[in-house]
Amino acid sequence: MLLALDVGNTNTVLGLFNLDGPKASNTLAGHWRVSTHRTQTADEYGVLFTNLFEMHGLATSRVRHIIISSVVPPVESTLLQVCERYFHLKPLFVEPGIKTGMPVLVDNPSELGADRLVNCIGAFEKYGGPSIVVDFGTATTFDVLSAKGEYLGGIITPGLGISADALFSRAARLGRVDIRRPAKVIGTNTVAHIQSGLYYGYIGLVDGILERMIAEMQQDPRSGLAVDTSLPEASIKILATGGLAHLIAEDSRYISTIDDMLTLDGLRLVFERNQPAPDKPQRPRRR
């Protein structure tokens, strides 16, 4: 089995893939989302992972390969110890020099976060291009792919949770509220006012950015789009993933698909692309 780990600033997502059979039959045997703790020890992570596996009737001994994407450098050395101590394996990290199969057409490709890269690899493999991938995490990221599967660039904005935290910490008389879709836009009490502002304000941010990105892509020959402003939604596939994707995408005018497993699928694809080619059977010599 393949253990795929995506380490984000807020959460770490784990996925176990069954690699038996042809690539097309690879299945996700289990997946979990846990909090990312920068100070947690290797043993604490190891016990957590082992318990998660056991709850689903899975043994750590079944793991034969591990791949990790991380945007939290302090956790990487800890996870390396976990892999070596509890799984007796050396993990493959998504980092510069790894084979991805995706040209990254930006000023400094090494700056692109590993999670964003694997999202795009999974998106192009599953949905094709041109496309935009929106990942609702600690930060909300927008990433653009061409029709040929090239990474063209993107945008980073503060995530909805960060925006809410800033409001609550700087406004002394405003208490914390649940972030959710309010019954109507115009609220009639303070809680509803805050919820509407956070929810619809963030949808306005997302759709406003997507509208401008679509317009710019239609004028960029690298995207592979014909210049046509009549049906932008039909021309570009707009995908969402991340913890808050379901909440925000419900009222977005542009997001058409939500894929919770996009990052894990991208990690599996990167793992496959970095495996040695199987040896070709030698033909018997003629006598």
Annotated binding site: 6-13, 113-116, 135, 138, 190
- Which residues are documented as binding site for K(+)? 135
What does the pLDDT read at residue 148?
Answer: 93
Model confidence pLDDT, tens digit, residues 251-269: 999 999 999 999 999 999 9
**What CATH code is carried by the domain that includes residue 19?**
3.30.420.40
Q: Confidence class of residue 232 from pLDDT cuts 50, 70 and 90?
A: very low
Query: Helix, strand, coil % (nearest 5) of the chain?
Result: 40, 20, 40
Question: In b/e form, how buried is each residue of 40-63, taking b as 16+ CB within 10 angstroms?
Answer: eebeebbebbbebbeeeebebeeb
Same domain, 169 and 258: yes
Indicate if 85 and 113 belong to the same structural domain: no
SS3 for 28? strand
Same domain assignment for residues 74 and 154: no
Same domain, 187 and 124: yes
> What SS3 state is found at 182?
coil
Residue of 107, 164, 121, 122 lying closest to 140 (CA atoms): 164
Q: Are residues 129 and 62 in the same domain?
A: no
Going by pLDDT thresholds of 50, 70 and 90, the confidence category of residue 271 is very high
Same domain, 174 and 70: no
| Residue 98, domain member (yes or no) | no
Residues 266 and 222 in one domain: yes
Residue 287 lies in a domain: no
Do both 80 and 25 map to the same domain? Answer: yes
> Which residues form the catalytic set?
115
Q: 131 φ, ψ to 5°?
A: -155, 160
Give the model's pLDDT for residue 89: 94
Range of the domain at 23: 2-93
Q: Which of 54-63, 72-81, 241-250 has the highest mean pLDDT?
A: 72-81
> What's the pLDDT tens digit per position in 136-146?
998 999 999 99
| pTM (2 d.p.) | 0.87
Structurally, how many domains does the chain consist of?
A: 2
How far is residue 54 CA from its own chain's centroid?
A: 26
Mean pLDDT, residues 182-186 taken together: 89
The answer to whether residues 175 and 261 belong to one domain is: yes
pLDDT band at 15 (very low <50, low <70, confident <90, very high): very high
Examine the pLDDT at 282 and tell me if it is beyond 80.
Answer: no
User: What residues are designated binding site for substrate?
Assistant: 113-116, 190
Is 68 a member of any domain? yes
Residue 91 has pLDDT above 50, yes or no: yes
